[in-house]
């Protein structure tokens, strides 16, 4: 009865399954399905929802798990595995031998209940909405389906901190993307120890994300799960952090200081509730109840500071996330590209690029736009992709991604922009050459400028309202007049209608206006805890500067300060290359030419710059 490895054209089969109680609908959840889920929703039952994903060899792990899981845990369990699409299954009946909990195959519109086990039917994708299981007809061929990822992602949004996902034995990497979303929404992630798995590809792929809370043999997972849920969910429900809650606030400030001292990054202006819940996750995993105890734990364990830092950087990204948004973006970019002069450069900035999927998506979209503009495809492309996470930048530079991207990238684009070998997709050189990755902190490092496009999706939602208000003018300053800004679907430009004109409200695509200079609106840049503390009590000199606005000197003074402190080294030359003025330290680029030569930039440029 053990699932067997797959061939190259289909996912590995698992078990034969009984016929469906109800046929799935085509496409996304229908309005009727949504209404049914909402009608059944009723009072919110705050029990944990546990999803177990596995493939080849997973039946052994499922048996060990359910034999050691008490039947009155108060949790609901959903089992998702790769099944033969055109054959009946016995998985529910087999699992019933291992547990006293009722086990049943899921049917469309079935509401989950605690102390029950639900099994995915064959030839279905399954999601969950308001605690109700919904079945959908697959839109991908068997070789490209990722039913575990599909369910994990819906579970993350529906159950949030009550979500638990467990990756067991299996081939491939199904579940890797979904577990990131579970973690991002404050859920918990467990993985079967790879050395105990019959097939270790799925567990090792999950561990490679570094977003895993516990790694244990299958038979030890139930005890740890019971311990975690009893502490984190049942006995002490989660709460929001009030702004006036002084004691946690003081502890948070100490935690920010410890992170900044070790990593150089300041999280003091991130949304407090988001940071608080990420910290609470780490505390739960170490069975620490008090903030003051966790501060002490961080002081004594530098490795935990790094782990918390990585936790705060969690971001879910994938190729062509929200495909409709990128198709609309291409439509808005075409007029801008057509007005670019010959041989000019299209400059793009993607802050918060994580592991690079979205930056490469932008490059592909631009290349497709240029192909459609022939013979005007002589424009050059530069995509600056930045993030504060150096590990993510290294992954992005490697430009190698697992086969699971087949769920997000069309076969035509896979053939056009990728090469496939050894179970990985490698971005082609044509795309890699236009993307430049760099470690960069949006809140303190100078922005890229003279941009035609700035795409910052799902980063601002993690920042405080104050910090968002400071960063939007920086975006305006960085963009050329008429250039395009794209934010995430949950982000807004409220309060900055003078700086940006909407092009698409749903997908938050806007065009930069010709509003007056925003230099006076970014005077507090860089935005850091030290800067905020320093500005909390203005000095006499600061007050004198502010009072000088009336005589017109304020803007000039600000521009001089910014130019002096934040512009890179520069030289002013005449058409012959003779140096007229030097700003900053240029020794890294220029050196005196031997002999009696004059101050000419072509003679003074270091050899590697010639």
SS3 of 19-63: CCCCCCECCCCCHHHHHHHHHHHCCCCCCCEEEEEECCCHHHHHH
Higher pLDDT, 456 or 564: 456
pLDDT-based confidence at residue 603 (cuts at 50, 70, 90): confident
For residue 393, give every residue at least 6 positions away whose Cβ sits within 8 Å of its Cβ, in sequence order, or none.
353, 356, 387, 437, 438, 439
Q: Is the pLDDT of residue 329 over 90?
A: yes
Sign of the torsion formed by the C-alpha atoms of 20, 23, 25 and 31: negative
- At residue 102, the pLDDT reads 96
Sign of the torsion formed by the C-alpha atoms of 551, 552, 556 and 558: positive
- At residue 27, the pLDDT reads 44
Would you say the pTM of this structure is higher than 0.85? Answer: no
- At residue 598, the pLDDT reads 63
- At residue 557, the pLDDT reads 66
Which of 239-243, 301-305, 505-509 is predicted with the least confidence, judged by mean pLDDT?
Answer: 239-243
Residues 58-101 pLDDT 10s: 999 999 999 999 999 999 999 999 988 777 788 999 999 999 99
Higher pLDDT, 12 or 101: 101
pLDDT-based confidence at residue 232 (cuts at 50, 70, 90): low
- At residue 34, the pLDDT reads 43
- At residue 441, the pLDDT reads 87
Domains in the chain with CATH codes: 31-234 (3.40.50.180), 246-312 (1.10.155), 323-512 (3.40.50.150), 570-609 (no CATH)
Contact 121, 105 (CB under 8 A): yes
Which of 325-339, 388-402, 473-487, 570-584 is predicted with the least confidence, judged by mean pLDDT?
Answer: 570-584
Q: Is the pLDDT of residue 324 over 90?
A: yes
Q: Is the pLDDT of residue 523 over 80?
A: no
Q: Is the pLDDT of residue 139 over 90?
A: no
Measured CA to CA, the distance from residue 318 to residue 356 in angstroms comes to: 8
């Amino acid at each position: 009865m053990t699932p067997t490895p797959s061939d190259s054209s289909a996912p590995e089969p698992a078990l034969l399954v009984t016929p469906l109680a109800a046929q799935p609908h085509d496409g996304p959840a229908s309005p009727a399905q949504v209404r049914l889920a909402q009608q059944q929703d009723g009072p919110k039952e705050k029990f944990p929802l546990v999803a177990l994903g596995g493939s080849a060899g997973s039946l052994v792990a499922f048996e060990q798990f359910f034999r050691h899981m008490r039947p009155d845990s108060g949790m609901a369990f959903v089992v998702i595995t790769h099944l033969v699409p055109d054959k009946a299954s016995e998985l529910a009946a087999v699992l019933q031998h291992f547990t006293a909990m009722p086990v049943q195959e899921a049917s469309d519109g079935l509401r989950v209940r605690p102390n029950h086990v639900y099994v995915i039917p064959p030839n279905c994708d399954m999601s969950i909405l308001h605690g109700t299981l919904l079945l959908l007809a697959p839109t991908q061929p068997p070789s490209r389906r990722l039913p575990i990822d599909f369910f994990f992602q819906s579970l993350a949004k529906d159950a949030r901190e009550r979500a638990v996902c467990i990756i067991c034995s299996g081939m491939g990497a199904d579940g890797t993307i979904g577990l990131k979303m579970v973690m991002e929404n404050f859920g918990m992630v467990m993985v079967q120890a790879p050395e105990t798995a019959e097939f270790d590809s799925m567990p090792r792929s999950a561990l490679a994300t570094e977003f895993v809370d516990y790694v244990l043999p299958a038979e030890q997972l139930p005890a740890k799960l019971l311990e975690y849920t009893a502490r984190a969910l049942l006995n002490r429900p989660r709460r929001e952090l009030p702004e006036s809650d002084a004691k946690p606030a003081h502890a948070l400030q100490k935690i920010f200081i410890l992170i900044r001292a070790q990593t150089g990054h300041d999280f003091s202006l991130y949304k407090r509730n988001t940071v608080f819940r990420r910290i609470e996750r780490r505390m739960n995993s170490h069975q620490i109840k008090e903030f003051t105890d966790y501060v002490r734990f961080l002081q004594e364990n530098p490795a935990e500071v790094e782990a918390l830092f990585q936790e705060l950087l969690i971001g879910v990204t994938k190729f062509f996330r929200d495909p409709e948004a990128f198709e609309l973006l291409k439509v808005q970019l075409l007029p801008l590209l057509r007005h670019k002069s010959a041989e000019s450069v299209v400059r793009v900035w993607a802050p918060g690029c994580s592991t690079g999927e979205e930056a490469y998506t932008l490059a592909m979209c631009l290349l497709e736009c240029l192909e459609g503009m022939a013979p005007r495809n002589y424009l050059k492309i530069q995509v600056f992709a930045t993030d504060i996470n150096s590990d993510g930048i290294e992954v992005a530079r490697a430009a190698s991604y697992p086969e699971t991207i087949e769920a997000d990238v069309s076969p035509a684009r896979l053939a056009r922009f990728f090469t496939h070998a050894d179970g990985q997709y490698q971005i082609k050189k044509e795309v890699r050459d236009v993307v430049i990755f760099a470690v960069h902190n949006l809140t303190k490092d100078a922005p890229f400028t003279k941009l035609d496009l700035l795409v910052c999706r799902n980063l601002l939602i993690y920042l405080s309202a104050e910090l968002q208000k400071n960063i939007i003018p920086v975006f305006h300053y960085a963009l050329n007049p008429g250039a395009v800004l794209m934010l995430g679907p949950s982000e807004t430009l409220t309060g900055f209608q003078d700086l940006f004109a909407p092009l698409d409200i749903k997908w938050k695509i806007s065009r930069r206006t010709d509003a007056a200079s925003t230099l006076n609106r970014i005077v507090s840049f860089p935005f850091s805890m030290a800067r905020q503390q320093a500005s909390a009590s203005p000095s006499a000199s600061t007050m004198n500067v502010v009072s000088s606005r009336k005589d017109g000197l304020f803007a000039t003074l600000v521009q001089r300060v910014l130019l002096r402190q934040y512009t890179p080294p520069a030289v002013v030359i005449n058409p012959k290359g003779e140096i007229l003025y030097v700003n900053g330290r240029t020794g890294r680029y220029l050196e005196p030419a031997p002999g009696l030569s004059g101050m000419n930039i072509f003679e003074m440029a270091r050899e590697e710059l010639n």
